[in-house]
Chains A and B, each alone.
Chain A
Amino acid sequence: MNQVLSETNSNPKPSDSMPRIAWGNVSRQTLVYVLLTAGCIITLIPFIWTIMASFKTHAEIIDPARRTFIPSNFTLNNYNTIFNDTSLPLARFYANSLFVALSNVVIHTFTSSLFGYVFAKFNFRFKRILFAYILATLMIPFQLTMIPSYLILLEFNLTNNLLGLVALSWFNAFGIFLMRQFMQSIPDELLDAARVDGASEWTIYLRIVIPQVLPALATFGVLVFISNWNAYLWPLIVLQDVETRTLPIILTWYNDRHTSDLGLQMAASILIVMPVLVVYVFLQRWVVRGFTLSGFKG
């Protein structure tokens, strides 16, 4: 197709003011596609290499002569070893990660939409100062408050406890800021009409405001889920007992015990990385939009 076009339009007039399908245009488009596809391949190679390695035998991985992408002896042994390892209760760790991620999603979507609504639609004393402070916390790196936060968790006796990753993180400055932007577009007349009908403020929030911003809230929820599922530093500090740990910490812990068996390591990382990737591929439009809107980084 490109070939045909390029031959028929091989001599474009240089000062042509009409939109043109020029030879240069088409070959440029081809070049763009080639470059983008090459970029995709580079992006995907680490994934493919890892997935393929997880199906290779140990003998194949350590044989320099057989360093190919496609496994020559396809095997599920690595996955079997992981699933049958009694010292690795994988279901437990999935449950841990799921618990932390989902709890934070529930808490953060609730508080972000609630405070976003209050900041967008109500006036009260010290509102500007309070909101300015919340925005300012965005600039403070987590590492600064990490040590006192850990000491506070110690006082609460919540270290080594999954609740420690949930109970004290009630609000999300990004979330409040993001939801406030959306809440501002809700017409005041709609809220006033409900008030005239005698609805209480909580009813208005639950029945009118939430449905209006549900897509944005869902996007935000997905982001919270992903960032909590992937979180490493804070869970590493809080969770010291093996049974309470979340998946990323378990991955490093497991790999430290099987340093020589790369196939096993790759299978373990696939098991931990894949759930989020599957969620992402299905929800990619929302996820990407969420990241773009919020400047939210995991």
Chain B
Amino acid sequence: MENVDLQAFTLYWLVIWAVLGSAITPLIFDHKHRSPWRGALLGLVVGAASGQLFGRVILVLLMPVVPQLATWLSMLGGLVLLLPLWMFVKPVQQTSPAHQGFVAGTITPLTFYLLLLSVFPLAWALLLAFFDYSPRRAGGPILGLGEGNPFVGLQYFQTMISGEGRDGLIFQNSFRNTLLFTALVVPINMLITIPLAAMIESVHSFMKTVFRTIYFLPVVTSSVGVAVMWGYIYNTQYGLLNGVLSSVGIQPIGWLQDPRANLLGVPAALIAVVIAYLWQDFGYNLVIFIAALQNIPDQMKEAARVDGASPLQVFWYITLPLLRPTILVTSVLTVISSFQVFDLIQVMTQGGPGRIGQTRVLVLDIYENAFRFEKMGWAASISVVMFLVVALLTIIQTRVLRTQWEY
């Protein structure tokens, strides 16, 4: 028994039999004209209880005899009570009006899953933000909170606002970098993709497919691959970029290493990751804009053209206003995704260069605090703030772009 993680098995038994019980029982109840929803609930309770009880019994009984099989057989514990339940339900002598067994048998497991693995982690994340938590320390009885992992109240949020200590300093720096990164990525992305989409839309349909395929390639490329490829381009000694620059007489720049290199006060390393990110990401908005442009009726553009509008005027006064809803959606999505940038930066710069990290962003801060320094409470509180900021930005964007669109 020592080599079996009983806690994990308890969870396997629970999940497997709660799901199977609540998925199968309603079908049987439905056949026998009983309420499938009641069946789903009954199946869930009976399955979970039987799984816990008989799973344990099977494990204890068989462990000394057949240790290899015992763990697998214990997974069948739920059947012990579920089978009798299924077999001994008596049919009711009346036709039920609507067969809902299928719905009850799918929706109940889904709800169970959502409660266990979506609602619960969310609540846990919010709770963690108020505790000094590390999984290594022995904590209180509920989720390991309390005792070794004490309640700290709003302390983390105060640290973020005041920027005190190393943690606060690094957080504020990451927050600024993330904002700057997003502020650079979103407008440049829009400025590239909208005209590019309009150009692609205007060419012959075969070439349209060719261009679209090529421009979309970076989107499906692994972001780690992108980071390695661009890391080589930015390489100080052997990189392509410095090679090109040196041929026009510019001294090699330590794009990802030199904390002093900057352009208009923006660190060179941040510009470098912004460019790599734009390169990887622009194809995504591009295809959305192409699809949106295809939905704009030709008659509207034709009418403007007949009235003597130049192509640029058609684009500016007809196409662009009609694209507003799409611009809203894509800009919201781009803000959200660039706020969550991690892969590129973790691989290309690890948040460096510089003492507090010129490319250190929020997700990197969350990742390192949670999984390297095991300060999970602090990391969770950062993730809560990040979520709130993204939500706020989304609301602001929706307001701003919508009011412009409706006048």
A, B co-complexed: yes
Tell which of A36, A49, A134, A272 touches B211, judged by Cβ atoms closer than 8 Å: A36
Decide: B232 and A124 in contact? CB cutoff 8 A. no
Q: Does A242 contact B (CB under 8 A)?
A: no
With both chains docked as a complex, state the minimum distance between the C-beta of A150 and any C-beta of chain B, in angstroms.
8
Bound complex: CA of A237 vs CA of B99, how far in Å?
A: 44
Whether the pair B110, A32 counts as a contact (CB closer than 8 A) is no
Partner pick for B121 among A64, A152, A281, A287, CB 8 A cutoff:
A152
Closest to A202 in B: B102
Q: By the criterion CB–CB under 8 Å, are B287 and A67 in contact?
A: no
B5 touches A157 (CB 8 A): yes
A284 surroundings in chain B (CB, below 8 A): 209, 212-213, 216
Q: Given A17-B306, A36-B203, A64-B238, do A276 and B228 touch, yes or no (CB 8 Å)? A: no
Nearest B residue to A32 via CB reads B199
Cβ of A269: which chain B residues have Cβ within 8 Å of it? 224-225, 228-229
Whether A142 contacts B7 in the complex (CB less than 8 A), given A49-B229, A133-B114, A149-B121, comes out as: no
Chain B residue numbers with a CB within 8 Å of A262 are 232, 235, 238
Residue contact A137 to B118, C-beta cutoff 8 Å: yes
* A201-B101, A269-B229 known; A148+B128 contact, CB < 8 A: yes
Q: Please report the C-alpha to C-alpha distance between residue A284 and residue B215 in the assembled complex, in whole angstroms.
A: 11
- For B212, the chain A residues whose CB sits under 8 A away are 284, 288
Q: Given A67, A118, A139, A140, which contacts B106 in the complex, CB threshold below 8 Å?
A: A118
Binds B, one of A3-11, A76-84, A85-93, A225-233: A225-233
Residues 46-80 of A, flagged 1 when their CB comes within 8 A of B and 0 if not, give: 11011001000000011010010000000000000
Given contacts A67-B240, A152-B117, contact A46 B229 (CB under 8 A): yes
Asked if A251 is at the interface of the complex by the 8 Å CB criterion, the answer is: yes
Interface centre among A40, A114, A143, A272, by most chain B C-beta atoms within 10 angstroms, is: A143
Q: How far is the CA of A50 from the CA of B117 in the complex (A)?
A: 41
Q: Are B218 and A43 in contact (CB under 8 A)?
A: yes
Asked if B291 is at the interface (CB within 8 A of a chain A CB), the reply is yes
CB-based contact B113/A170 at 8 Å: yes
Known: A233-B343, A248-B224, A269-B229. A44 touches B124 (CB 8 A): no
Q: Which of B47-55, B164-172, B385-393 contacts A (4 or more CB under 8 A)?
A: B385-393
Chain A interface residue count: which class?
A: 35 or more
Contact (Cβ within 8 A) A122 B103: yes
CB distance from B132 to the nearest CB of A (A): 14
- Chain B positions 152-181 with a Cβ under 8 Å from a chain A Cβ: none
Tell me the dominant secondary structure on chain A's binding face. helix
The answer, yes or no, to whether B311 is at the interface (CB within 8 Å) is: yes
- In the assembly, what is the distance between CA of A67 and CA of B247, in Å? 11
A196 within 8 A of B: no
Against B, the Cβ 8 Å flags (1 = close, 0 = not) of A115-128 are 10010001010000
A147 at the B interface (CB under 8 A) = yes
Q: Which of B164-207 contact A (CB under 8 A)?
A: 196, 199-200, 202-203, 207
A141 and B118 contact, Cβ closer than 8 Å, known pairs A32-B202, A67-B243, A291-B287: no
Looking at the complex, which one of A200, A247, A276 makes contact with B221 (CB distance below 8 Å)? A276
A208 interfacial contact with B, CB 8 Å: no
> What A residues does B232 contact at CB under 8 A?
49-50, 53, 262, 265-266
Nearest A residue to B391 via CB reads A139
In the assembled complex, the Cα of A297 lies from the Cα of B334 at a distance in Å of: 10
- B340 to A252, Cβ gap below 8 A? no
What's the minimum C-beta distance from A32 to chain B, rounded to whole angstroms?
5
Q: Across the interface, do A64 and B287 meet the contact criterion of CB distance under 8 Å?
A: no
- With A141-B340, A288-B216 as known contacts, state yes or no: A124 contacts B199, CB within 8 Å: no
Name the one of A141, A154, A155, A249 contacting B390, with C-beta atoms under 8 angstroms: A141
Query: A222 to B216, alpha carbons, bound, how many Å?
Result: 15
Give min CB distance, A143 to chain B, whole Å: 5
Min Cβ gap A208→B in Å is 13
Instruction: Assess A118 versus B370: contact at CB under 8 Å? Given A33-B203, A171-B113, A248-B224.
Output: no
Residues on the B chain within 8 Å of A44, using CB = 214, 217
Give 13 pairs: A residue, B residue, CB < 8 Å, sorted on A: A36-B211, A40-B211, A43-B218, A49-B240, A50-B229, A141-B336, A148-B125, A201-B102, A248-B223, A251-B222, A273-B222, A287-B220, A291-B216
Q: Which residues of B contact A (CB under 8 A)?
A: 5, 7-8, 11-12, 99-104, 106-107, 110-111, 113-114, 117-122, 124-125, 128, 135, 196, 199-200, 202-203, 207, 209, 211-226, 228-230, 232-233, 235, 237-238, 240, 243, 246, 279, 283-284, 287-288, 291, 306, 308, 311, 329, 333, 336-337, 339-340, 342-343, 346-347, 362-363, 366-367, 370-371, 376, 379-380, 383-384, 386-387, 390-391, 394
Extra contacts, 12 of them, besides A122-B102, A137-B118, A143-B363 (Cβ < 8 A), are: A36-B199, A46-B233, A47-B229, A49-B232, A67-B240, A118-B106, A146-B370, A149-B121, A151-B135, A156-B11, A201-B101, A262-B238
Interface residues of A (CB under 8 A from B): 14-15, 17, 28-29, 32-33, 35-36, 39-40, 43-47, 49-50, 53, 61-62, 64, 67, 114-115, 118, 122, 124, 130, 133-134, 137, 139-152, 154-158, 168, 170-171, 200-202, 205, 226, 229-230, 232-233, 237, 247-249, 251-252, 255, 262, 265-266, 268-269, 272-273, 276-277, 280-281, 284-285, 287-288, 291-292, 295, 297-298
- The 8 A-B pairs at the shortest CB distance, nearest first, are namely A201-B102, A157-B8, A148-B121, A273-B225, A148-B124, A248-B224, A67-B243, A230-B222
